Structures are given as structure tokens and as C-alpha cells.
A = this chain, B = another copy of it.
């Protein structure tokens, strides 16, 4: 056990514990010589301050909280490891640690945040995947608890945030498909209540308008967060009289479902119908055809969020606390040059359905 307290260190040094404390914390009223001596002996006898004792006095735990939603959480499963690594690596340079908890749904998450707060287990939170009207943020604001949002925060919010430029990815996807000759492009979004959904959709629309295309509202859908939901959305789109020749998806999992739907009507994704995803999940790189997607550097995201949060808690720098990061495209074979018109595509689908 540690068992070497500041008292023992003070005795060893022939100083009072208050002097030792101030020396270690670099107070100005301690002579440089004493500071050096204290640090040296502290290191020598292996003194490590108790974080709880310090926290009791300072009111700080030196820990940040991360509550994961297990309802929608499966969607970010593959990135979790890198995300945690980013946070932890950033914190490891300091004395801070990361406290992780899981919860189900927004109410569950809010309850978990409250619990961690009331127990004084953490000083602040990383809030991933913020919603339009987010109970977690409401709670943290009401309690004046520091937090940092992974995602675009509310416009009138002063809390620091970090996000990836997913709108640029959607925009790039449209442009790429346009360059492949596609003009009839659908959009399949994710959780409508999530903030990211609005942003990605707007990115899609921006890409469309930049190319002089008008987004057909009947080709814009959402709530496709799983493969099954994506497949259903794909089946609906293919069954219309003017099916899209390309589909931009806000999530890889939905994109994989769309590829299945395409396969199920005897067509080939990437040839007959183009599909792009977003997230860069491993399954997409193993799928047939390999999914064109956009990868997020979640290590960087975690590290940045941790840095922003700690800075905002310690109030060291009030620098720009809103940061953005570009995504990296993963070119697969799920998209390509347009092969046939929407009418021809519709005919093919009809024909396939008849022969069955």
C-alpha cells in the first residue's frame, strides 16, 4: 500500500506539512531551494498524495465521466476502444482518470449522470451523441457541472464541443456519386432525435444543391440505424416508380442493409445501384462489395474531448473550445459509374419481382 503520507514526508524533511503541501503545489511563498528538496525527497521515499484527501478539500475528484448508451450504443461499438484510448492517453499525462458507466436510453443516462454527480465521483462529463433536446445537458447545466459535447452543441451553448465534419462527408459522397454520373440520389438517415442526423442531412442537401440537383423528398428517409432497418428502407426505395441509382447513407449499418436489399432483387451494389456509408465500421470493409465509407479518427476525438474538458474544468485556457475534425474517405466498391437510368432500374426490379 502507499501509506506514505504528507505527514511522514514532512517529518522526513523536518518541515511542517503545510510547507510541504505548498512546496509541491508550487506556491510562491516557498523558497526554490526548499521546493527542490521537497520534490527530491518526495520522489525518493515514494510519496503519492491521496486523491480522495485532496478531493475532499478542493472539491475535485480529478476524474471525468463517460456514460454510454447501450440502446443506440451498439452503433459505436467498434470505435469505443479507440475512443477510450484517446481519452485515457490524454488523461494519463495528468492526474485525471476516466470513469465509465453504461445506461439505457435518455432517462437512464440522465439518472446515471445524476448519480455520478451526487456521489462526487466525477468533476465533469463527456457527452457523446447529443440530442436536439438533451436531458443530460439540461441536468449538467442546471447543476453547473462542466461538460464537453461530442457532436455539435446547441448554437446558443457556451459549453466546449468537438465534432467531426460529417456534413462534409455527406457532401463529398454526393459529389463523388455525381461524378460517377448519378443524378437520382437518395438519402437514408439515422436517429431523427440525434443532433448528428440534422447535420448529415444538411450536408447531403448541400452537396446536392452545389451540383445543381434537387433532393427528391420521397427519396429522403431516416430512422435506419440497423442493418434490418436499412434493408427495409432499401426495399421501399427500389420499389418506387423512380428508384434512385445511388443511395447516400448516414450510417454504415444502414448502408449494409441497403446492399442486401439490392442483392435481394437480383442486382449488384456498386454496379447497378451505388451505395455509400459513414463510420468506417469493420464489417463494411469485409462486406461484398466492400463499402465506400468515411472513417472517423475516434482516438483523436477522445483525446481532444478529454483535453477540452479538463481545460474547461481547470479554467486554464479559455481558448477556442469548439473544434472540428475532417473525416477520411474509405473508397470501396459499393459505388461506381451509373449503369442505367432510374426507369431502367425500375423495370429491372419489376421484372425480378414478377419472375418470383
Q: Residues on A close to B: CB < 8 A?
A: 1-2, 46, 48-53, 55-56, 61, 63, 68, 70, 73-74, 77-78, 80-81, 84-85, 88-89, 91-92, 95, 97-102, 112, 115-121, 143-144, 256, 282-283, 286-288
Contacts and interface: CB of A to CB of B under 8 A. Distances in A.
B81 A92 contact: no
B48 A119 contact: yes
A88 B116 contact: no
Contacts of A85: 68, 70, 73, 102
A52 B287 contact: no
A138 to B, nearest CB: 16
A120 B52 contact: yes
B102 A84 contact: yes
B61 A1 contact: no
A102 B73 CA distance: 20
A149 B143 CA distance: 38
Given A52-B61, A77-B81, A80-B80, 14 more contacts: A2-B120, A46-B118, A50-B56, A52-B52, A68-B81, A68-B85, A70-B81, A73-B81, A77-B78, A77-B80, A92-B112, A99-B100, A283-B286, A286-B286
A89 B73 CA distance: 15
Contact of A119 (B51, B56, B89, B143): B51
Given A52-B55, A85-B70, A119-B48, A98 B97 contact: no
- Those 6 A-B pairs whose CB atoms lie nearest each other, nearest first: A48-B118, A88-B102, A52-B55, A85-B102, A52-B52, A77-B81
Contact of A101 (B53, B78, B97, B115): B97
12 contacts: A2-B118, A48-B120, A51-B120, A52-B55, A56-B56, A68-B81, A80-B81, A92-B115, A95-B119, A98-B99, A99-B99, A100-B100
Nearest to A144: B1
Contacts of A91: 101
Contacts of A102: 84-85, 88-89
Given A70-B85, A88-B100, A50 B120 contact: yes
A63 B351 CA distance: 62
A125 to B, nearest CB: 13
